[in-house]
């Protein structure tokens, strides 16, 4: 069974952090620092996932990914767990990134299912074993069939859980039966994190420990309260979750991370830009998100410009 072996604990709430770009389309390093501080100090995150798919990792160069890691470690690495998204569809590159991130002081590695090439369960298992073998850091597997076109089956995950430093899975398959199965069958101490903000309550109910979030960029304190209240006060946890559910649904109504970057920009961060093939939100979608942010208490109507807009 996996072990953190003296490494910094990841906690129960991590945010897969967006990557802000400047007008030239390059990483905005000062804004990376601001967002990292905001996530840890203002939004109650225990950890940050750097260079994950929410950070637009498929469009980042290896050098950019590692530079992001260095910045975030420097800014908040003493306060939070910094997990590096090393997974790609190329095992050799994933191993290289894992090694480099380990050398730079990351607190963990996240490895997503290889996307596009659909290697089958045997290839998937071999891919993850190679990544885990390239580091002594704890490793989180990331199962997201909708984006990778392959599911990490329960039997495969159980075999991978025998690897000493594979300690967790971010489950974003959307399959509650599968999530229930893995929570009931994985060895004691192996961590199951929800990879869907909207499924945090059912994941907790069957044995999950927390959430790797997108929404926690803006509602981290609320989501942390849901997680911390669940065991002793499930009714209050459910009520807290229902209050923020409209926001969670809204930020996934368009291709992620476009909506959450827009919402962060409405809170004062310079991070609206995305890299192609993603494009920014149309004006009507911006108004829809503004309205949801007002309803959830993240903006007031005047600040959002909705009083004038509604006429």
Residue 116: CA count within 13 A, CB half-sphere: 5
Give domain status of residue 91, yes or no.
yes
Instruction: Establish whether 142 is a catalytic residue.
Output: yes
Helix (H/G/I), strand (E/B), else coil: 16: strand
Give domain status of residue 24, yes or no.
yes
Instruction: Establish whether 170 is a catalytic residue.
Output: yes
**Options 170, 193, 261, 262, the catalytic residue:** 170
**In whole angstroms, what is the distance from residue 221 CA to residue 106 CA?**
24
Tokens of 173: 């398959």
Domain with 53 in it: 13-233
pLDDT (0 to 100) of residue 108: 98
**Options 65, 142, 224, 262, the catalytic residue:** 142
pLDDT (0 to 100) of residue 1: 41
User: Structure pTM?
Assistant: 0.94
Burial of residue 96 (number of CB atoms within 10 Å: 0-12, 13-18, 19+):
middle
Start-end of H helices in the chain: 29-37, 62-76, 91-104, 120-133, 145-148, 154-160, 176-185, 200-205, 216-230, 234-251, 258-266, 283-295, 301-304, 306-310
Longest dimension (CA), the chain: 61
Give domain status of residue 292, yes or no.
no
- Rounded to the nearest integer, the mean pLDDT of the chain is 94
Tokens of 26: 């390059």
Give domain status of residue 294, yes or no.
no
pLDDT (0 to 100) of residue 309: 40
Q: Could you tell me the CATH number of the domain that includes residue 127? A: 3.20.20.70
- Domains held by the chain: number: 1
Give domain status of residue 28, yes or no.
yes
Give domain status of residue 262, yes or no.
no
pLDDT (0 to 100) of residue 310: 39
| Residue numbers of the chain with a pLDDT score lower than 50 | 1-2, 307-311
pLDDT (0 to 100) of residue 145: 81
pLDDT (0 to 100) of residue 17: 98
Give domain status of residue 195, yes or no.
yes
Give domain status of residue 297, yes or no.
no
């Amino acid at each position: 069974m996996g072990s953190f072996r003296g490494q910094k604990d990841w906690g129960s709430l991590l945010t897969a952090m967006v990557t802000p770009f400047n007008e030239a389309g390059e990483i905005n390093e000062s804004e990376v620092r601001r967002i990292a501080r905001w996530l840890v100090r203002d939004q109650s995150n225990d950890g940050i996932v750097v260079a994950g798919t929410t950070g637009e990792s498929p469009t980042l160069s290896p050098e950019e990914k590692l530079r992001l890691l260095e910045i975030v470690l420097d800014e908040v690495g003493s306060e939070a767990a910094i997990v590096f998204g090393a997974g790609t569809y190329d095992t050799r590159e994933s191993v290289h990134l894992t090694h480099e991130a380990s050398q730079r002081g990351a607190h963990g590695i996240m490895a997503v299912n290889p996307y596009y090439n659909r290697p089958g369960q045997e290839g998937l298992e071999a891919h993850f074993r190679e990544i885990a073998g390239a580091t002594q850091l704890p490793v989180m597997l990331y199962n997201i069939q909708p984006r990778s076109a392959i599911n990490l089956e329960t039997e495969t995950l159980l075999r991978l859980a025998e690897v000493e430093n594979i300690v967790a899975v971010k489950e974003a398959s959307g399959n509650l039966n599968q999530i229930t199965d893995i929570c009931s069958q994985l060895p004691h101490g192996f961590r199951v994190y929800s990879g869907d903000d909207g499924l945090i309550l059912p994941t907790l109910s069957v044995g999950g420990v927390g959430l790797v979030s997108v929404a926690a960029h803006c509602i981290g304190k609320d989501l942390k309260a849901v997680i911390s209240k669940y065991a002793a006060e499930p009714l209050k946890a459910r009520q807290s979750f229902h209050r923020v559910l409209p926001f969670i649904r809204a930020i996934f109504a368009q291709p992620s991370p476009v909506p959450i970057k827009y919402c962060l920009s409405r809170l004062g961060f310079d991070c609206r830009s995305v890299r192609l093939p993603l494009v920014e939100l149309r004006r009507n979608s911006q108004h829809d998100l503004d309205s949801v942010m007002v309803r959830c208490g993240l903006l007031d109507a005047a600040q959002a410009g909705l009083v004038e807009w509604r006429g």
